Structure 1
Amino acid sequence: MLTITNAKIITSDRIIENGTVWIADGKIVDIAERLVSEDDITGDWLDAKGLFLSPGFIDIHVHGGGGADFMDNTIDAFLRVAQTHVRYGTTAMLPTTLTSEPEELMALFDTYAQVLRHNERGSRFLGLHLEGPYFAMNQRGAQDPRFIRNPSPEEYIPILERYGHLIARWSAAPELPGALDFGLKVRDHGILLALAHTDAIYEEILPAVEHGYRLATHLYSGMSGMTRRNAYRYAGTIESSLLLDAIDVEIIADGVHLPEPFLKLIHKIKGKDKIILITDAMRAAGMPEGKSILGSLKSGVEVIVEDGVAKLPDYSSFAGSVATADRLIRTMIDLAGTDLITAVQMMTLNPAKLLGCADRIGSIAIGKDADIVLFDDNINVHFTFISGELCYQSN
């Protein structure tokens, strides 16, 4: 039994002052609005000293951190990313790929299957997020154009049949030839389907939704806005994602990819239940600024990290963020004007619902996994627990 007392417990609808949480066998077994002393209990005991107690953060789009990238395709790289982000409150994540050679992707599946047996101290892995390679070339951003291609059943069906159980999410451009049939196959395997790096307009988004596309990948980044065709205006992916209730949106809330007006606009339109905060972090997250690599060390793209963001060397595009989860929460409060409960929900319960695991994680409730973060008023993380096990403690 572990008892955490003297905490401000963040629930889905209120903050419990002077709260206590009891944990046993990796689960939350009781919650009370009262303090207890060490003399009153048996087992391990932690005085939170007034820290906020939150559900663990869930990052459904992250490429790397701590100097490592999942595309490095080594067990050490996977573990280093997980151990880096757990320091900032991320208790669960979807390791995210980039467009790559087919052989490189196949090798990554095998590495991921192995790493699941070794990850004991870092953020838990909930499945892979395949970002690409089925993208619109015009919206590729920092994705390597050498590997961008249209969906091919000869490629994706064997992947789904052999590795579908390892994939939690797949992002693609829905307007490409074959992308709707691809969507049906992905949906039938129980995989979350997202639209990304796309030039689709409203008339193409509507059938995409019917074929399983449910999430807009990093809204505003790598997607079309209002466009003209033969003098007529058409709503792009951005406007369609904001308009359609069937589409949730994920946002890189680092204050750079999306400045204050955009964050406020998205929050005003989509509300607290349809927004998911993501880091989209690359290997430089948690590292000093300077030169870095987006993607694998072998075939990645050189980038420059400055002003709290990664950029292509020609400054034509951002190249992934260096944000961590705590920064996202701070930004939503400071720039978007959300309250703490709402900002935390966007990083916990909302992604858990989208992934279909809200019965286990994403909120502080009796019977759920004890994935817990303790942080101060400035969202500085002091403790991170995963299934009741202490995985990080600040100095």
Structure 2
Amino acid sequence: MSKRSLQIINGQVITPFEIVRNASVLIRDGRVDAIFPDNRALPDVLTIDAAGRFVSPGFIDLHVHGGGGHDFMDGEVEGFQQIAQLHARHGTTAMVPTSLTSTGEQLLHLLRIYEEASRYTDKGATFLGMHLEGPYFAMNQRGAQDPRYIRDPDPSEYEAILEYSHLIARWSAAPERKGALDFGRRLREKGILAAIAHTDAVYEEVLEAIEAGYSLSTHLYSGMSGVTRKNAYRFAGVIESSLLLDALDVEIIADGVHLPAPLLKLIYKVKGPEKIALITDAMRGAGMLEGESILGHKDDGLKVIIEDQVAKLPDRSSFAGSVATADRLLRTMIGMADVPLLEAVKMISQTPARIMGIGHKKGAIRRGMDADIVLFDADIRVSLTLVEGRLVYSEASEEISQ
């Protein structure tokens, strides 16, 4: 399907403020043209019958490493395309491909491949720019990040990377590392989202980080400090700081494994849907069978085990990544955290769009917005995905007529 005019009829349309029952959406030239509170089929327009399903804004994943047996760190155009297609089948219409701590050579190669792959995304989710996760992390909070490459921010290094590519959308770092505040200021100057991640910072250091330009907590609760004691005194960590400070948005891996129901409910109660972005943080095992897999580059990445719907280190001492898809995130928030559908959708569409600075064109079904649209049923089973009006996934049962 091209960007010609089409109409989705007989749907429950999820707008930013309400769910409009028995409504239709008109799409022209890849954008939403109108929402009608009835099911009148217009003449000379392709028609999609939603058959009572929800018509939702497309899902935006701010933090994803791979899926379908591929990892972005493999540095292959085909891998980028396969990941985009796999996640589109589960409702993701836009994503931020994410790196892992690696050699400088691997990183530059990844950025080259990203630029090439971003030209060929007409069959899957679109790319919103690269997310560099590392290497400026706290060693104690590295998780599955490769300790061989963890280090302090070096201006000569990151300036060369910033000069090399203009397609970096966000960069995650531990703000307590030497030089990390100057690094955050530089990212802010470049219009790049600075995020706090894999960190042992305390509250006072988080305040300094916010002043320097950091505005997002990467995968809240994972790879970050909580309350600590020094010389008998307690200090709030990044977890408490992220919940307390309105200046920080948070992203959460809502796969139902990384965070149990009480923590999901706490985050939702404190931050609200306007400040929470749901992320998959998916590695190559997303959409694959359980068993052995690799986190990172297929040739020298970390061996992991996929079981119990999550990736684990071989000794099972820690999680090593998510295998979630975006539809699973919605099911988790609704089923485990008791979040209403309207607000759960906001956390995976409108809020991440605002965080990435693209809320003027993506993240909602409104006139003039990109026609990134997903159809799903009451069980959040995705049956159709449109990206800027293009059909990138459809179940065989979908009826599209002239």
Cα distance, 1:118 vs. partner?
1.8
Cα distance, 1:94 vs. partner?
0.3
Aligned to 2:125: 123
1:217 lines up with 2:221 in the alignment:
no
1:7 lines up with 2:15 in the alignment:
no
Aligned to 1:56: 58
2-structure distance, mates of 1:361, 1:80 = 22
Aligned to 2:33: 29
For residues 220-273 of structure 1, give each alpha carbon's deviation from its aligned partner in whole angstroms, at most 9, with x where no partner exists: 000000000011100001000100000011000011000100000101111121
For residues 82-106 of structure 1, give each alpha carbon's deviation from its aligned partner in whole angstroms, at most 9, with x where no partner exists: 0100000000000000000001001
Aligned to 1:70: 72
SS of 1:240's equivalent in the other structure is helix
One-letter identity of the residue aligned with 1:26:
G
| TM-score, normalised with respect to structure 1 | 0.98
1:20 lines up with 2:24 in the alignment:
yes
2-structure distance, mates of 1:21, 1:118 = 27
Aligned to 2:170: 169
2-structure distance, mates of 1:46, 1:101 = 47
Aligned to 2:399: none
One-letter identity of the residue aligned with 1:137:
M
Kindly report which structure 2 residues correspond to 1:218-297, keeping only aligned pairs within 5 A, or say none. 218-297=219-298
One-letter identity of the residue aligned with 2:362:
I
1:79 to 47, 68, 81: 81
One-letter identity of the residue aligned with 1:114:
E
1-structure distance, mates of 2:305, 2:88 = 24
Aligned to 1:344: 345
2-structure distance, mates of 1:162, 1:107 = 11
2-structure distance, mates of 1:56, 1:118 = 19
For residues 119-141 of structure 1, give each alpha carbon's deviation from its aligned partner in whole angstroms, at most 9, with x where no partner exists: 21011000000000000000000
1-structure distance, mates of 2:189, 2:174 = 18
Aligned to 1:149: 151
Matched pairs, number:
392
Listed as ranges, the gaps of 5+ residues in structure 2 are: 397-402
One-letter identity of the residue aligned with 1:134:
Y
SS of 1:88's equivalent in the other structure is coil
Cα distance, 1:317 vs. partner?
1.1
Kindly report which structure 2 residues correspond to 1:324-335, keeping only aligned pairs within 5 A, or say none. 324-335=325-336
For residues 187-228 of structure 1, give each alpha carbon's deviation from its aligned partner in whole angstroms, at most 9, with x where no partner exists: 110000100000000010001000011000000000000000
1:108 lines up with 2:115 in the alignment:
no
1-structure distance, mates of 2:254, 2:212 = 28
One-letter identity of the residue aligned with 1:146:
R
1-structure distance, mates of 2:44, 2:328 = 36
Aligned to 1:181: 182
Aligned structure 1 segments of 4 or more residues deviating by more than 3 angstroms = none
Listed as ranges, the gaps of 5+ residues in structure 1 are: none
One-letter identity of the residue aligned with 1:128:
M
One-letter identity of the residue aligned with 1:203:
E
Q: What is the alpha-carbon root mean square deviation over aligned residues?
A: 0.7
SS of 1:84's equivalent in the other structure is helix
Cα distance, 1:161 vs. partner?
2.1
One-letter identity of the residue aligned with 1:172:
A
For residues 15-61 of structure 1, give each alpha carbon's deviation from its aligned partner in whole angstroms, at most 9, with x where no partner exists: 00011111111011111100124xx4212111110010000000000
2-structure distance, mates of 1:119, 1:59 = 15
Cα distance, 1:155 vs. partner?
0.2
1-structure distance, mates of 2:273, 2:120 = 36
One-letter identity of the residue aligned with 2:157:
E
1-structure distance, mates of 2:11, 2:196 = 39
One-letter identity of the residue aligned with 1:8:
Q
1:140 lines up with 2:142 in the alignment:
yes
